[in-house]
């Protein structure tokens, strides 16, 4: 079963056909209409770039060059800045600053249809015009620094179909970046070998205790682990950064890839290969960044955790991982 709907008509030609004026006009109308439909449905309408509105005096403003698509899908290209004089408007007027498209029909002396981009200030908005700004004149009909507002400016935002954006088409700066978190660890289980006292976790940093619960000096340092929550779609960890202002003896750091192996139906995180990084940091304030050579992560089943142990008094202010999609 098939159903069809008419979506348009375009001129058709044949050998020996006599072409008249209306044939060429229809040809132009077809292509103009198709371009407008393409612009509106694939890109939308509004300011694409530029066309910034700024004060040029106490009764005039300047509109910079730029490009826009109007509400009928027509392109408006403004090649140079223009100044609009506002002194003719009554005091306290609320003005709309717009860009619009206009054509002038041919004449005997000008056998061409001329197309114009129109920049205007008015108390209303004509159909399909692109709003650039609104201007509120004061009681003397003058501009003040706060007179120009872009709250109603129509900016073009390309409509996107569902699922049309994925990590591969994002700009490199959006595919890769730093995830920063404070160190908020849980205690290493007591039954683990060489388990240490927990960190004292504050709002912005974690510190080892200087004294035990009974008031005696803490000679075991501290130990803790923390999961690092990964954004959806992350498939690679590139670097790890750790920083803190206190480290009396030594800090041992491990970055661990955990999660689940669907093929083998087993836990991931116990083997040496699951430790993406192990480092020791000597005493004193520290700010270290480490490269992760084999940082592949499965987008569905990999997790990431960090384990930190100190042999003396220390603090941890920052844990950061550079990740990518």
Q: Please give the average per-residue pLDDT across 121-137, as a whole number.
A: 93
Query: Coil, helix or strand for 244?
Result: strand
Res 69: pLDDT: 96
DSSP assignment of 86-145, as one string? Answer: -TTSPTT-EEEEEEEEEEE---SS--S-EEEEEEEEESS--TTPEEEEEEE--TTS---T
In whole angstroms, what is the distance from residue 165 CA to residue 179 CA?
A: 22
Q: Please give the average per-residue pLDDT across 289-314, as a whole number.
A: 95
Residue 128: inside a domain: yes
CB atoms within 10 A of CB 295: 21
Residue 153 has pLDDT above 90, yes or no: yes
Half-sphere exposure of 268 (CA within 13 A, CB side): 21
Q: Please give the average per-residue pLDDT across 17-25, as a whole number.
A: 92
Residue 29 has pLDDT above 80, yes or no: yes
Same domain, 180 and 281: yes
User: Do 51 and 78 meet the contact criterion of CB atoms below 8 Å apart?
Assistant: yes
Same domain, 206 and 259: yes
Res 239: pLDDT: 97
**DSSP structural state of residue 39:** I
Confidence of residue 286 (pLDDT cuts 50, 70, 90): very high
Residue 175 has pLDDT above 90, yes or no: no
> Among 119, 149, 179, which residue terminates a domain?
149
Alpha carbon 256 to chain centroid, angstroms: 30
Same domain, 181 and 132: no
Residue among 229, 236, 228, 227 nearest 175 (CA): 236
> Among 116, 149, 182, which residue terminates a domain?
149
Residue 27: inside a domain: no
Same domain, 202 and 310: yes
Res 116: pLDDT: 94
Same domain, 127 and 175: no
User: Do 220 and 195 meet the contact criterion of CB atoms below 8 Å apart?
Assistant: no
User: Do 156 and 43 meet the contact criterion of CB atoms below 8 Å apart?
Assistant: yes
Res 70: pLDDT: 96
Q: Please give the average per-residue pLDDT across 115-141, as a whole number.
A: 93
Number of domains in the chain: 2
Confidence of residue 170 (pLDDT cuts 50, 70, 90): confident
Residue 162: inside a domain: no
What are the tens digits of pLDDT across the range 192-236?
777 899 999 999 999 999 988 888 999 999 999 999 999 988 999
Which residues span the domain enclosing 80?
46-149
In whole angstroms, what is the distance from residue 184 CA to residue 174 CA?
A: 27
What are the tens digits of pLDDT across the range 71-113?
999 999 999 999 999 999 999 999 999 999 999 988 888 888 8
Same domain, 179 and 65: no
Q: Full-prediction pTM beyond 0.85?
A: no
Where residue 267 sits, what CATH number does that domain have?
Answer: 2.60.120.260
Same domain, 252 and 144: no
In whole angstroms, what is the distance from residue 17 CA to residue 160 CA?
A: 43
Same domain, 176 and 316: yes
Residue 136: inside a domain: yes
């Amino acid at each position: 079963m098939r159903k069809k709907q008419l979506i348009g008509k375009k001129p058709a030609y044949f050998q020996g056909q006599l072409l008249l004026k209306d044939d060429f006009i229809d040809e132009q109308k077809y292509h103009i209409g198709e371009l407008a439909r393409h612009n509106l449905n694939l890109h939308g309408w509004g300011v694409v770039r530029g066309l910034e509105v700024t004060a040029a005096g106490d009764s005039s403003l300047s509109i910079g060059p730029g490009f826009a698509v109007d509400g009928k899908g027509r392109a408006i290209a403004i090649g140079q800045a223009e100044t609009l004089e506002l002194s003719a408007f009554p005091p306290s007027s609320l003005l709309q600053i717009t860009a619009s498209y206009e054509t002038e029909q041919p004449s005997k002396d000008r056998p061409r249809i001329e197309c114009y981009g129109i920049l205007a200030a008015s108390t209303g908005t004509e159909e399909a015009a692109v709003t650039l700004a609104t201007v509120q004149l004061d009681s003397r009909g003058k501009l003040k620094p706060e007179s120009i507002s872009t709250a109603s400016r129509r900016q073009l935002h390309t409509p996107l179909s569902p699922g049309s954006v994925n990590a591969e088409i994002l700009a490199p700066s959006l595919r890769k970046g730093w995830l920063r978190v404070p160190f908020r660890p849980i205690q290493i289980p007591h039954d683990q070998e060489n388990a240490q006292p927990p960190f004292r976790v504050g709002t912005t940093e974690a510190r080892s205790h200087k004294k035990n619960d009974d008031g005696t000096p803490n000679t075991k340092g501290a130990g803790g682990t923390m999961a690092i929550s990964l954004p959806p779609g992350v498939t690679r960890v590139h670097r790890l950064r750790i920083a803190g202002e206190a480290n009396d003896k030594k800090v041992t750091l491990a970055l661990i890839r955990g999660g689940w192996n669907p093929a083998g139906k087993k836990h991931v995180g116990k083997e040496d290969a699951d430790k993406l990084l192990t480092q020791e940091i000597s005493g004193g304030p520290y700010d270290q960044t480490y490269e992760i050579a084999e940082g592949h992560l499965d987008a569905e089943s990999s997790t990431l955790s960090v384990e930190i142990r100190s042999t003396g008094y220390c603090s941890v202010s920052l844990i950061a991982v550079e990740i990518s999609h």
